[in-house]
Amino acid sequence: MDTATKGRKLIPPESSDEFLTLADELMKKDGYIEPAAFGVGLATIADSDGSVLDTWFGSVSCGDNERTAAVLADVLGHASGAATYRLGADHFAEILHWFAPFLGKPGHRNVAILEALGTETPAKGALPTTRVPVVTFISGLSDAPVDIHDAYLRLHLLSHRSVQPHGLNLDGVFGLLANCVWTDQGPCDLESFPVAQAKASVAGEHLVVNGIDKFPRMADYVIPSGVRIADASRVRLGAHLASGTTVMHEGFVNFNAGTLGASMVEGRISAGVVVGENSDVGGGASIMGTLSGGGKEVISIGSDCLIGANGGVGISLGNGCIVEAGLYLTAGTRVATSDGKVVKAGSLSGVPGLLFRRNSISGSVEALPREGTWSEGLNEELHNN
């Protein structure tokens, strides 16, 4: 993380048009390469060893706000590549001069966050941590993340719906993230927490522990529009929830996974899984992900699909498919088809318009052709979020 400060002469634009002209000049500077994405936020640093525990990005940009990126890069001395910079007082003085025509005006998220970070000092709570303002640049979405800031920005991009699941590289993300005690006052490193907890108790405070994990709850970082989440602890940062999605109390959505349209999630959407529009993952249902056992196949659920209660799949479903309640299909499940053949379920992966059921007399699993949506589809009133 670069902490260098440049003592340059400030040249504040007097109007938005002048800002555009000056910023355009910065974008043409020799050696400058526009980043694929960037974010402005706060990093949490452990007082014990200076390690980074998390980074919250109050604003993220991916393929837009290129002039803001150019200004920040110029102030910070950034030309290209992936990097994170701590923002000092001198940086903020120059940055806020650059954005003077937009300060206090609605519709400029990056400017609003920069103004807030530049004028407010992060409060020191009961935890032995320090929060510092940062800017992170990502050079290419197809490049692997280089550090924890980079990893957190990518997870934010997914949850902000700036990119869809599998739309960026997350190779090595587990090794970059810190395993933290997640509390109602933020993250804490595991070794420091017992003392912090004792000090808080003596002071009459109670630290609520939400989990011990590498991934925090999405809702503590990103609140997507048009969604309902009954239990925020069931959705990890990096989940992609399309508008109209409802996640019920026992529903779960992992990172780099989620929905592409209005959907009902009463079961588990594992890492890497994508669920199409107007589909229902029933209560207790499960979709096999790509993490456990080193599986590489990406499972997708098409639109207008229903996975019945306590059912599940380890294959992809094409549009308009139903899996009977209680039936779990793996790629090796032997399935009887309507033409009298018996095939492995894997050979039917992605085929649309199928009803998978277990014959109640013979006990064999069957795949039968079907038409239309399941029943009447999703209840529109439930997903008008």
Whole-angstrom distance, CA of residue 240 vs CA of residue 256:
7
Query: Edge-to-edge strand order for the sheet containing 186-189?
Result: 186-189, 180-183, 209-213
Whole-angstrom distance, CA of residue 39 vs CA of residue 228:
25
Whole-angstrom distance, CA of residue 165 vs CA of residue 157:
10
What's the chain look like in SS3?
CECCCCCCCCCCCCCHHHHHHHHHHHHCCCCCCCCCEEEEEEEEEECCCCCEEEEEEEEEEECCCHHHHHHHHHHHCCCCCCEEEECCHHHHHHHHHHCHHHCCCCCCHHHHHHHHHHHCCCCCCCCCEEEEEEEEEECCCCCCCCCHHHHHHHHHHHHCCCCCCCCCCCCCHHHHCCCEEEECCEEEECCCHHHHHHHHHHCCCCCCEEEEECCCEHHHCCCCCCCEECCHHHEECCEECCCCCEECCCCEECCCEEECCCEEECCEECCCCEECCCEEECCCCEECCCCHHHCCCCCEECCCCEECCCCEECCCECCCCEECCCCEECCCCEEEECCCCEEEHHHHCCCCCEEEEECCCCCCEEEEECCCCCCCCCCHHHHCC
Other Cβ atoms closer than 10 A to 145: 23
Whole-angstrom distance, CA of residue 212 vs CA of residue 221:
17
Residue 342 tokens, joined: 């018996």
Q: What are phi and psi of 108, to 5 degrees?
A: -130, 80
- Least Cα distance to 2 among 114, 98, 79, 104 occurs for 79
Q: Is 266 a catalytic residue?
A: yes
Of the candidates 34, 94, 191, 266, the residue annotated as catalytic is: 266
Q: Which of the residues are catalytic? A: 266
